[in-house]
């Protein structure tokens, strides 16, 4: 095996590692997006629930695109998770503030993740070009070697 062949193998290994990292970051970004969408829906639902007022008819989603009929029992309070499967009852405005804090944190983390993805994508592109160059050089060497025989 010539130096060029080993260099090509190393370059391909690095490219594969970059692509695997990029794939992992893109999956994380999908999870961030889903979490952000869920939080935005929760915020909107709380706002509308509070605006509807006590006794207003509502539809309660139970999954699989199925809903139950219901009425607003208390338009001023909600139950919200605070972490580690702990739920607390608190006024809707306080819960909305809690959600806003989470949303902002997630948006900031998502922006940082998007930058990392962009940087890694540039490295993947550069490494791909490097691999292509090494491959072309190796092919030229082999062609010259076969003509010289």
Sorted by sequence, the CB contacts under 8 Å of residue 46 that are 6+ apart come out as 78, 92, 95, 96, 99
Which residues in the chain show pLDDT less than 70? 1-3, 148-149
Beta carbons of 127 and 18 less than 8 angstroms apart: yes
Strands 66-71 and 57-63: antiparallel
pLDDT confidence of residue 142: 81
pTM of the model: 0.76
């Amino acid at each position: 095996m010539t130096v060029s062949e080993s260099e090509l193998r190393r370059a391909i290994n690095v490219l594969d590692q970059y692509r695997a990292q990029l794939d992992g970051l893109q999956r994380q970004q999908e999870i961030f997006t889903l979490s952000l969408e869920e939080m935005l829906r929760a915020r909107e639902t709380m706002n509308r629930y509070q605006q509807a007022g006590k006794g207003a008819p509502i539809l309660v989603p139970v999954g699989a695109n199925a809903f139950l009929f219901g009425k607003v029992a208390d338009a001023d309070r909600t139950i919200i998770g605070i972490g580690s499967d702990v739920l607390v009852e608190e006024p809707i405005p306080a819960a909305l503030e809690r959600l806003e804090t989470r949303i902002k944190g997630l948006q900031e983390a998502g922006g940082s993740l998007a930058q990392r993805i962009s940087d890694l994508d540039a490295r993947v592109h550069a490494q791909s070009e490097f691999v292509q160059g090494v491959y072309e050089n190796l092919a030229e060497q082999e062609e010259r070697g076969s003509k010289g025989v």
